[in-house]
Every structure is written in structure tokens, then in C-alpha cells.
Amino acid sequence: MTGADSIVKCLEAEGVDVVFGYPGVAICPFYNAILNSGIETVLIRTEQNAAHAASGLARVTGKVGVCAVTSGPGATNVITGIATAFADSIPIVVITGQVNSELLGSDVFQEADITGAVESFVKYSYLVRDADDIPRIFKEAFHLASTGRKGPVLIDVPIDIQNAPTSKFKYPESINMRTYKPTVKGHAVQIQKAVKALNHAKRPIICAGGGVLLADACGVLRELSERYSIPAVHTMMGKGALPSEYKLNYGMVGNNGKPYANRAMNEADVLIMIGARVADRAISQPDIIFDNKTLIHIDVDPAEIGKNAQATIPIVGDALSILTEMLESEITCSTSDWVDTLEEYRNTMAVVRHPNPAYVDPGEFIRRLTDSMEDTAVYVADVGQNQIWSCAYAIVRDGRFLTSGGMGTMGYSIPAAMGAKYACPDTQVVAVCGDGSFQMSMMELATMRQHGIQGKIVVMSNGYLGMVREYQHYTYKDNYSVVDLSGSPDLSKISEAYGFKYLRLENMKDCDAVIKDFLSTDESVLLELIIDPMDLVK
Amino acid sequence: MQRKVFQLLVDNTSGVLSRIAGLFSRRGYNIESITAGVTADPRYTRITIVTSGDDEILDQIEKQVFKLIDVRDIKVLEPGNSVYRELALIKIRVSADRRQEIIALAETDNFRAKIIDVCKEALIVELTGNQDKIDTFIGLLDGYEILELARTGLAGLGRGIENVTYLP
């Protein structure tokens, strides 16, 4: 048995079904050993997307996603995917091949100091120096990735370590990490303080972040909101934590959110922030917003509390555990006047778009598409104007809404949707991107075809890097610089070349029929929407 | 802005110092000095970091450092309840006829420094103490040329046994 066999056995012990990756010499012992296991492999077309695919899988299954790439450029290419997962706290394990350990540091062919390079984007990284350490390191890596504040862990394995003989394989049953013990249970006194604050609240509001989904706490959050009529808003990463149509869900906050959601948060007297970082796109002026209100900040990462806002009642721990405990106390707050006020805001402050009838209205299209999708569907939004429209108009019921929120990585949607679809073949999965982001990841259409992964991709074509164009419209008075996407390929031919069915929608006339076609076909399908190049999200 | 001395116990693994230093540089925290050395238990390294910032930054430093997987323990060494020492080696250009002036200054009770190397044109003073004492001594060398100066940065321990972290 070799180090490579040992790695495969570790993955089996962790219940890994699939590894996304791209081989090279330095990871070949691993890709040779995996042939003897039941673990599937998916050859992605560029390494960055291996991490995105693992991220998509992780987000829909709650398991740790795994990818494996080679040393040097393979490893450096995967960094953007790792940084994307880190920013959104997505649990993945990235295995990188490395040059012979005796040659480390001598700049040999395809050597890159990947543990050094990813230092600020990983929860932790390992450079394996002894094949006998592999079981312990993998056990720790999966534990680190999936507990506390989740995130990516990288394991760099030199080729000689993969080839080295190892002693009999024994996977550790327990973790013995002296320095890592994340807090799960919230402090009882703090939880009681939060309950007391809610008892006195007249205008309470919940702000749900991505941490609610990561902690699998959507059910208890809904229970808390519904039982005591506490209205809720959410961040971009928190979209889907509560169903879009749930009556007390007032939508997304932030500079791209709903005006009435922001107003609701501003006017609240008690704000329960759960699994949210209070980052700049959600809350641009925390000092003003948190003035004159009680902020109950629940987060599994103590460093997030007090980073961007000073909490009145900080509670460190797992959202599921804390919310469950909060529900054990009777809360007596009466919110009917407050809810009436918010309803009025919702009715009077709705954003009215004035779409150009010659083109597809992206907002209305997304609303109708998601309304027709299955309740459990997974919607993967890319980055750009399409992301803002998706956040504003996508209806999420019991399914999921995935996007790259923290890092804002273009090209995320197609590989992430691929990972999600691979993990849940019976779930409807749709990726929605722009013509810019599509071209960053369109090589993965081949991966889908090769591995029989059904792709449903919506491309919003406007011939521009729309979000940047919009910024240049406002900031540089239409002095456009390097945002024209002329030269883009004919997507009908791209679809044909990759064996995708091609659908096209040029205006809203045939919208419903095309959506029906798009959702009902069992083939992989690409739907191109023709969007007004001058359309704006604001 | 206030100054704070943090004492860390970390796993004695390769790369741990770079992880800590990297955290300070990428988040824009100050490091005035950092010292590291293995503890009585070779599995651990003790690190003393002198840093400065406002209350919020110092709070973040403590939390972000503690979040690093390798960090077992972090505490603040409060001035009233801790001892700090730094070692400085100072090479001073001095001719034989003025050598006694330096030796006399170094050996006063205020400094209790040692002369650890003497050559025809220079000598090396070894001085131990808190940072103020070393700064004061250097200040008194006005008029002499300091050829080379090596300071270790602060090492510190809390007084008494109440705050000792017992390692498993």
C-alpha cells in the first residue's frame, strides 16, 4: 500500500462519492489509485472550476466537496476557486500534487509553493511530509472544513509521498486537535439576554445570512419568525434561508437590495443578525444603522462579532443550536403594528422597472422562470447584473439559491451548477449567467457532455460586461472602457458544438412557452436571452 | 492608539510563524516586535507579540489570532501583572581613551549591562531590560557612533501562577 492508496482510503472513509479535478504528473499516483475504488472522477476543463464544482456539491449536500489537481499551474489555477469558497465559508478539501519532497524549494518544473500561496484563503493547509501522516491529516482536514466556520482546506502531497509505502491503513476514529475546538453551543446567559431583549421589542427584525443555510437552521429560523411574528430580511448569501413567498420575508438588504428591506432594518429596535458578516454590500454604514438599536449578533466565528459592528448581545455558536435553544423560552413580543408598517412599506416602496419591450426583461423573466421551477430546484446565479436581477427576482421555495457572494467570482454558476447536479441528479438545477461570465466557464459544457451531467443554462446576452458598464455609466458618464464584448461566439453554434439544445428568447412575447421548453427538456439546454445592452439594475 | 503585549502558545509546527506574521500583514495590523521560542514542552512554541491599535483593532487582533488553527492560547500581558524583557546587543565605535566612559555607563546600577566584546575601535554592550531601559541607554549614547544594533524584541510572562495555561 502506498500514500496514494492511503489517500483514496481516507476519501472512502469520509464517504466521498466524487472527485472533481485535472491530473498532471505530480498527482498521477493518486489518480492511478482512485481507479481501484468506487469513487467517481470528473475531468473538469480548468482547475478553478474543480473547486467551484466541489463548492456546488458541498452547498446542496451539506457534505465536504473534494477536488484534486496537479502541482504548479494546476495548483495556482485552483486558487480563485479556493478563495471563492473561503469568502462564502463553503467546506471543500483541495488535494494538490507536489514535486518530489527532496526537490522542494529548488524551483523545479511545475513547482509552486501552494501552501504559502493560499495561506490567506484557506482555513488551514497541510504539506504532507510522511505518508504515515495521511490518515490523521485527512481526518483533520475534513473535520476542519466542515465544523465551526466552514471553509476550504488544502492538502499538498509531494509525488514521492504518494508513492511511498505505508503501514497498514487505519483511519482515526476521533479527532485529537489540541488547538481547535469551535464553540457550538451558545452561552445560556447570552441566549436569555436575547430572549429578554425580544420580549421588550416593539420592532424586532431578523437578518439571515449564509450561516443560517450552512448550519442547516432554516427550519428553526422559520419557526422563530412564524411563532412570534418576527419579520425577516436577508443578505445575498442568506437568500433561500426563508422562502421568498413567506409572508414575513421582506427580502434582501444592502445596496442592491429592496428599499423596504433596508428601511425595515433601519427602523427596527431589535435586530437579530444570524450568520451574517455585516459586510459592506449588505450594510454600508453600520455605525448609522446600529445606532439606537439592540443588536443581537449570532455567529459561529467569534472574530465576526465586533469586526464590522459592535453587538449589544453577542452569541457565539452554531445557529441551529442557538435558535433551537431560543425557541425553548417563551417570547412575548407583540409585533402586529410593526408588521402592518412593513406591509405598507412593501406596498409603497416596491421598485418599478421600465423595461424596453424590444428586449427580454431580465427581472420579469427570472420571476416567471423561478415561478415555474420545481419547489426544490437549485438556482445558481453568476456574477454581474445577472446576479443582482437574480437576487431581486428569483423565487426560492424549498430549494436553494447559490451564488458567489463574498468574492463575486465570475464564471461560478456553470461549474457550481454542474457540481450540484452531479450530487443531486433528480433535482432541477439551473445556472443563470451573463455573456461575460458564460465565456469564463463555457469549457465546462464539455465536462457535462462527457459525464452525462444535464446542464440547464440561461445566458443573458447584452454584448457588454453589464455591471461594469453600468458603473462606468454612473461614475464615468458613459465613457466606456474595455466592457464591449464584441467578438463573442454565436451561442447557437456553441450549443451545437457541445451537444446542447439551443433556445433563444428575444423579447417577452414567447417567454412562457420558451420557459416551458427549457424546463421540460431532458436534454442539456442553453437558453439565450437578448437583453437591452443599456439596461440597468438600478 | 494603545500598545498591547500578547502572549501566544502555538503548535510547534513548520510555518506557524509565517501564518501569524501573514495574518498581521494582510489585515494591516502593526507588529512592533515578535519573538518566538520553544517551550518546556517541545510540542509548543511561545510567541510574544507587541502591537498597537485602537480598542476595536486590538479586539480583532486577539480574535483573528485565536482563530488560527495552530494557536492554542492567547492572552494579554497587562503591564501591572507581567514581566517583560528584551535583550539588546549594541556595537559602539569607541577609541581606547574613551572606552572607560562607556563601560562606566553600562555598569551603573541603572543598566547593569555587560561588555561582551572589545576590540581596538569598538566594543559590544549586552543589555537586558524592558524596552524603556534599552531606549534610555541608547539615548545616552548620543555623541557615540552605534555601528550595529540587534534587539530581540520583547519576551514576557504573567506574574504568579493564576494565569498559567497547563498543557495536556
- For the stretch A198-213, pLDDT in tens is 999 999 999 999 999 9
> Could A177 and B67 be called an inter-chain contact, meaning their C-beta atoms sit closer than 8 Å?
no
Domain B83-155 has CATH 3.30.70.1150: yes
Tens digit of each residue's pLDDT (9 = 90 or more) over A414-430: 999 999 999 999 999 99
pLDDT of A289 strictly over 80 = no
Give residue A283's pLDDT: 80
Is the CB of residue B10 less than 8 Å away from at least one CB of chain A? yes
Q: Is the pLDDT of residue B168 over 80?
A: no
CA distance A122 to A85: 9
Q: At residue A504, does pLDDT exceed 90?
A: yes
- Strand ranges (E), A198-349: 204-208, 232-234, 249-252, 270-274, 294-299, 313-316
Q: What is the pLDDT of residue A306?
A: 87
Q: Which CATH number is B2-76 given?
A: 3.30.70.260
CB contact under 8 A, A124 and B69: yes
Nearest CA-CA distance, residue A178 and chain B, Å = 7
Q: Which of A310, A348, A338, A350 is nearest to A206 (CA)?
A: A338
The mean pLDDT of A183-212, rounded to a whole number, is 96
- Taking CA atoms, what residue in B is nearest to A182? B67
Q: With 90 as the cut, is the pLDDT of residue A342 above it?
A: yes
- Tell me, what amino acid is at A43? L
A29 within 8 A of A159, measured Cβ to Cβ: yes
Which has the minimum average pLDDT: A306-310, A365-369, A461-465? Answer: A306-310
Question: What pLDDT does A4 receive?
Answer: 98
* Residue to substitute from B41, B69, B73, B165, interface A, most A β-carbons within 10 A: B69
Assess whether pLDDT exceeds 90 at residue A235: yes
B139 contact partners, CB below 8 Å, separation of at least 6: none
C-alpha cell at B76: 494579554
The answer to whether A274 touches A298, Cβ cutoff 8 Å, is yes
Domain coordinates in residue numbering, chain B: 2-76, 83-155
How many CB atoms within 10 Å of residue A272? Answer: 28
Q: How many CB atoms within 10 Å of residue A534?
A: 14
**Residue scoring higher pLDDT (A365 or A284):** A365
Cell numbers that stand for A8 in this block: 483514496
Mean pLDDT value across residues A157-162 = 98
Query: What is the pLDDT at residue B166?
Result: 78
For chain A, the average pLDDT equals 96
A303/B67 CB distance under 8 A: yes
- Specify the pTM: 0.94
pLDDT at B65: 96
- In this prediction, residues A80-106 reach a mean pLDDT of 97
Q: Looking at residue A23, what is its pLDDT?
A: 98
- A-chain residues near B8 (CB < 8 A): none
Residue A94: what pLDDT? 98
By percentage, how much of chain A surpasses pLDDT 90?
Answer: 93
The whole-angstrom distance between residue B121's C-alpha and the CA centroid of its chain comes to: 29
Query: Is 90 exceeded by the pLDDT of residue A370?
Result: yes
Whether A249 contacts A234, CB under 8 Å: yes
Please give the ipTM for the structure prediction. 0.85
Residue range A331-358: average pLDDT? Answer: 94
Note the pLDDT of residue A281: 82
Give how far Cα A37 sits from Cα of A3, A154, A201, A450, A479, Å.
15, 22, 57, 20, 57
Contacting A residues, span 119-178, partner chain B, CB-CB under 8 Å: 119-120, 123-124, 127, 144, 177-178
- pLDDT tens across B4-15, in order? 999 999 999 888
Alpha-carbon distance of A152 to A386, in angstroms, equals 26
Domains of chain A listed by start with CATH number: 3-163 (3.40.50.970), 188-348 (3.40.50.1220), 362-530 (3.40.50.970)
Task: Give yes or no for B25 touching A (CB within 8 A).
Answer: no
| Cα Rg, chain B, nearest whole Å | 19
| Half-sphere CA count of A409, side-chain side, radius 13 A | 29
pLDDT for residue A238 is more than 90: yes
Chain-chain contact of A306 with B59 (C-beta, under 8 angstroms): yes
pLDDT at A434 over 90: yes
**Beta-carbon contacts of residue A440 (< 8 Å; ≥ 6 apart):** A410, A411
Spatial CA neighbour of A56 closest among A46, A42, A45, A66: A66
User: Average pLDDT of A235-263?
Assistant: 96
Residue A198 Cα distances to A55, A224, A328, angstroms: 36, 11, 14
Taking the CA of residue A180 and the nearest CA in chain B, the distance in Å comes to: 6
Grade residue B163 by pLDDT with cuts at 50, 70 and 90.
Answer: confident
Would you say the CATH fold of B83-155 matches that of B2-76? yes
> Does A73 reach chain B within 8 Å, measured CB to CB?
no
Task: Assign B103 a pLDDT band (cuts: 50, 70, 90).
Answer: very high
pLDDT at A286 (0 to 100): 79
Cβ contacts (< 8 Å) between A178 and chain B: which residues? Answer: 11, 43, 72, 167-168
Is A116 in Cβ contact with B64 (below 8 Å)? no
What pLDDT digit, counting tens, does each position of B45-95 carry? 999 999 999 999 999 999 999 999 999 999 999 999 999 999 999 999 999
Three cell numbers, residue A475: 461614475
Residues of chain A with Cβ-Cβ distance to B69 below 8 Å are 123-124, 144, 177, 179-180
Who among B19, B67, B72 is closest to A119 (CB)? B19
A:B CB pairs within 8 Å: 42
CB of B63 within 8 Å of a chain A CB? The answer is yes
pLDDT digits (tens, 9 = 90+) for B13-53: 888 999 999 999 999 999 999 999 999 999 999 999 999 99
Per-residue model confidence (pLDDT) at position A292 = 84
pLDDT for the residue A51 = 98
Q: Which helix (H) or strand (E) holds A435?
A: helix A435-441
CA distance, residue B76 to nearest chain A CA (Å): 17
End-to-end CA distance of chain B: 37
Residue of A115, A179, A305 with shortest CB distance to B70 = A179
User: Closest chain A residue to B66 measured between Cα atoms?
Assistant: A303
Counting other chains too, the contacts that A58-61 makes at CB distance below 8 Å and 24 or more residues apart are A58/A85, A58/A90, A58/A91, A58/A92, A58/A419, A59/A90, A59/A213, A59/A400, A59/A402, A59/A416, A59/A420, A60/A378, A60/A400, A60/A402, A60/A420, A60/A423, A60/A424, A60/A427, A61/A423, A61/A424
Q: Which residues contact B23 (CB under 8 A, 6 or more apart)?
A: B29, B64, B65, B68
Query: Does the distance separating the beta carbons of B19 and A306 come in below 8 Å?
Result: no
Would the pLDDT of A176 be above 90? no
N-term to C-term CA, chain A:
60
Give B18 to chain A, closest Cα distance, Å. Answer: 9
Q: Which amino acid is at A39?
A: I
- Residues B22, A120: C-beta atoms closer than 8 Å: yes
Res A412 pLDDT > 80: yes
Q: Per-residue pLDDT for A73 more than 90?
A: yes
Chain-chain contact of B67 with A124 (C-beta, under 8 angstroms): no
Q: Which residues of B touch A310 (CB under 8 A)?
A: 56
Q: A183-221 as b/e, with b when 16 or more CB fall inside 10 Å? A: eeebeeebbebbbebbeebebbbbbbbbbbbbbebbebb
Calculate how close chain A gets to B71, using CA atoms only, in Å: 6
| Residue B57: per-residue pLDDT | 94
